[in-house]
Amino acid sequence: MSNPLSQDESGPREPSAEVFARLADVPLESIDKLIETTESAYTDLNKVRGHPYWGDLVLQQSAALRALNEARDGLDGLRAEAIGARNTELGITVTTAVIDGKTHCAERDDEKPSLVDRLLRPEQPGRAGHLYVWDRPYDNDRSGGPYQQIRVVTAAEEELGVLNYTEETEEGELLSWHTYTPRPPDGAPVLRFDAGSPLAFPRDAVLPLPELRAALSEFTRTGLRPESVQWQRARWGD
């Protein structure tokens, strides 16, 4: 049996990025509306409890909701992969920063410096921020990547901070490094893994903000452990 998706290849080929862009435009809003409408009908069903059809209706509604939610998950996955494929074709990388618990994305190079600056100066002192570079926005831990991330903790008033770089090997092993300086700043503050965490970064991981900014800017370009600063394998406390 022939492939129903095959096309006549004698004509001009459409650019791959345009194909991927259309796949990325799947109508998630439409299926969300279907789910909302199907769920809302349950209240009305309860008004006819005891009717001989009530049990079968509830059963079918539950089956319909499962199918709709599975379809949405599948479309969401298709959309994410299509965005990644399109960006790869176009040579685009997306920088995602989690700042004060909120996610912000930058696709254009001229947007990324301000994202780095916001990451270095969060509104909630001591709260860790995170930076990711991938072929698509990164918005949850359930997706398959990216395999590299940088945690950022700063004391903006003192113009100091620390980076923690983590990557996952092909075997699934997590490797982690802190920034390093052989000459820690005088009076370097205690910076913790996150606000309220008992884990403290070593004092020789603390660097001036301009050095952190340069490293983070490099990461937005390469997605790899920055070479503009020194690193040490992760440890906690002095």
Taking only the tens place, the pLDDT of each residue in 168-206 is: 887 888 899 999 999 998 888 899 998 888 999 999 999
pLDDT value for 141 = 62
Predicted model pTM: 0.78
Rounded Cα distance, 77 and 132, in Å: 19
How confident is the model over 213-225, as pLDDT tens digits? 999 999 999 999 9
- The backbone torsions φ and ψ at residue 99, rounded to the nearest 5 degrees and listed phi first, read -125, 125
Q: Mean pLDDT across the stretch 100-116?
A: 94
pLDDT mean across residues, the chain: 89
Asked whether residue 5 carries a pLDDT value surpassing 60, the answer given is no
Domain residue ranges of the chain, discontinuous segments joined by +: 16-90, 94-233
What proportion of the chain, given as a percentage, has pLDDT over 90?
A: 58
Long-range residue pairs from 221-229, CB within 8 A, at least 24 positions apart, any chain: 222/133, 223/93, 223/133, 223/134, 223/146, 223/148, 224/148, 225/148, 225/165, 225/167, 225/177, 226/165, 229/163, 229/179, 229/180
Phi then psi dihedrals of residue 119, to 5 deg? -65, -35
